[in-house]
Structure 1
């Protein structure tokens, strides 16, 4: 396979694998989807107690509208709390609840087993190379977003 063919293969594979992972991930838990889990993970690993809806949307690479819809569903489940910012009433601050933390704690062992199975057969070097490749890809995507492709 020549270099351009490899690039096209990787490009197409990102979409195909993303779709397949979403299907598998959605079967993992009947309470939340894999995209909802990702939103919770982004919020919890942000290093802050809460994020604005806009910040959360930007972190997840999603629209404000889609993020708000997902956050509203998670709020109904008791996993998120959305409150108007004390500094700007137009801004919604989003934070995880103790119920959410407890629920996710109960999934931990299954999540570890899922990741172990997903990356079965990967050497440390292969995994490191994949991480480096994704970091480069993320940087290039950010540059393309700034220039509007």
Structure 2
């Protein structure tokens, strides 16, 4: 019985810890660059990793876990800064696609060393075992969250 209680205590700690760490990492990352927030960085990083070089706002919203409205708001700010282009889909004018600009690609190339130092410092003293354990644990959480989102969506429809 005590092992079950201990497991629940640890799970509660992990849950709270992830939320707290997300906030702290965002604050720390926001200090890295006065021109770009961590959320804006994540939006651009997701677009860079997309197979389609011009994903839709909805696709990026789904990948980042943000609402479509929040992604559009961030994208408009990044467009004003010259990092993104918002373009109507040639086949369906209702669809807005996001494209990184040459200025954006150059900007990220120039801050590559700074980002690498940030990541190295963030994960200092992480060996392969710890890194793999956290990686696999986060993947399980992602799968569970996706399942819970699907279950919730089915409850709303049903």
Q: 1:42 aligns with which of 39, 46, 68?
A: 46
Gap runs ≥5 in structure 2: 154-158
CA distance in 2, matches of 1:141, 1:4: 18
Give the Å deviation of 1:96.
0.4
In the TM superposition, 1:47-126 aligns within 5 A as 47-126=51-130
CA distance in 2, matches of 1:148, 1:21: 29
Larger Rg: 2
Match of 2:14 in 1: 10
Give the Å deviation of 1:35.
0.4
The residue matched to 1:32 in structure 2 has which SS?
coil
Q: How many residues align?
A: 149
Does residue 1:137 correspond to 2:145, yes or no? no
CA distance in 2, matches of 1:46, 1:125: 29
Match of 2:31 in 1: 27
Please give the TM-score of this superposition, normalised by the length of structure 2. 0.92
CA distance in 2, matches of 1:76, 1:131: 36
Gap runs ≥5 in structure 1: none
Please give the TM-score of this superposition, normalised by the length of structure 1. 0.98
CA distance in 2, matches of 1:49, 1:8: 39
The superposition leaves residues 97-126 of structure 1 with CA deviations (integer Å, 9 ceiling, x where unpaired) of 110000000110010000000001111111
What RMSD, in angstroms, separates the aligned Cα atoms of the two structures?
A: 1.0
